Homo-oligomer: A and B are copies of this chain.
Amino acid sequence: MNAMIDRLIEKIMEMKNPTVAGLDPKLDYVPEAMKQAAFKEYGETFEGATQAILAFNKELIDALCDIVPAVKPQAAYYEMYGVPGIACMQETIRYAQSKGMYVILDAKRGDIGATSEAYAKAYLGETAIGGQEIPAYGADCMTVNPYLGTDGVKPFTEQCAKHQKGIFVLVKTSNPSSGELQDLKVKGKCIYEHVAELVKGWGSDLIGQYGYSSVGAVVGATYPEQAEALRAQMPHTYFLVPGYGAQGGKAEDVAKSFNPDGLGAIVNASRSIMCAYQKQGGTPGDAARAEAIRMRDDIMGAVNKKSL
């Protein structure tokens, strides 16, 4: 089997679309009729809420699966519904994969070695029970927090190697206060640049046939200058780029995360795709598809302009 990053790159090239649709299903995003139908059947309960969310996710996945290579479920918005929320997250992962999409689970885990190993096996690998090995979630990729250093990340890269999976490690996040720690300067370099060096090292054994590692980096669209510098610093690292759209990142900002080969980044949008129907009317699926095409063309235009 190919390295995860190769399979993701091939899907991106095939669809000419370096974007990922975030599935952060706040209940406010779900159409009223869909919610009421689920509440009527299951009550105003975790079960009712997650049935509505699952129906919404499936409509979005159906509408996007032939033009968008991947989805990124945000774990928090499933965990908040307890057990039914986790069942909904599992079913969303399975459904997206059954439609040919890759799943980047945004869970931002990171712990001491033994505990990171449990997380890595849970989300990317298999859980051992007696003589069996059972995948609990089976995501293709996940996001990882680097604060604990190498021994907190290594169990994830081990599962990447064993099961041809991928991770994206937080380097420079998109939120307003990301600089409080990440921009502190040590010997003339910011913390996020030190993290970038670590990420390069963690991924150096997992480089695929297109020259990119299955150990990627999260680099926010909201900090284009930093993204440009990081792009130069880590040429073999794929970037997962949040912050386009609702958070303020523009196409020319995210273009800085791409290499001259037109590869090197996958750009996420969540709210603008999930809630497109609230702005533009139509069904959630049709509106999401139209917005995903607009986003693809917007970003590809800026990337192609840069590559000329």
Using a CB–CB cutoff of 8 Å, the interface residues on chain A facing chain B are 24, 26-27, 35, 39, 44-46, 48-49, 74, 76-77, 79-83, 85-87, 90, 108-113, 115-116, 118-119, 121-123, 127-132, 134, 136-137, 145-152, 170, 173-182, 184-186, 191, 194-195, 198, 242
Contact B194–A79 (Cβ < 8 Å) = no
How far does the alpha carbon of A266 sit from the alpha carbon of B81 in the complex, in Å? 30
Residues from chain B with Cβ under 8 Å of A27 in the complex: 128-129
B121→A148 contact, CB < 8 A:
no
Q: List 20 other contacts, CB 8 Å, given A80-B121, A149-B177, A149-B180.
A: A44-B130, A45-B129, A46-B129, A76-B109, A77-B115, A80-B136, A81-B127, A82-B86, A82-B122, A82-B136, A83-B86, A83-B87, A112-B242, A145-B147, A148-B178, A149-B175, A150-B177, A151-B177, A181-B195, A186-B191
How many identical chains are in the complex? Answer: 2
A186 / chain B contacts, CB cutoff of 8 Å:
184-186, 191
In the complex, which of the residues A74, A113, A177 has the most CB atoms of chain B within 10 Å of its own CB atom? A177
Cβ contact within 8 Å between B119 and A79:
yes
Considering the chains assembled together, what is the distance between the CA atoms of A83 and B151 in angstroms?
Answer: 28
A54 to chain B, nearest CB (A): 14
Whether A177 pairs with B152 at a CB distance below 8 angstroms is yes
Report chain B residues within 8 Å CB of A198: 180-181
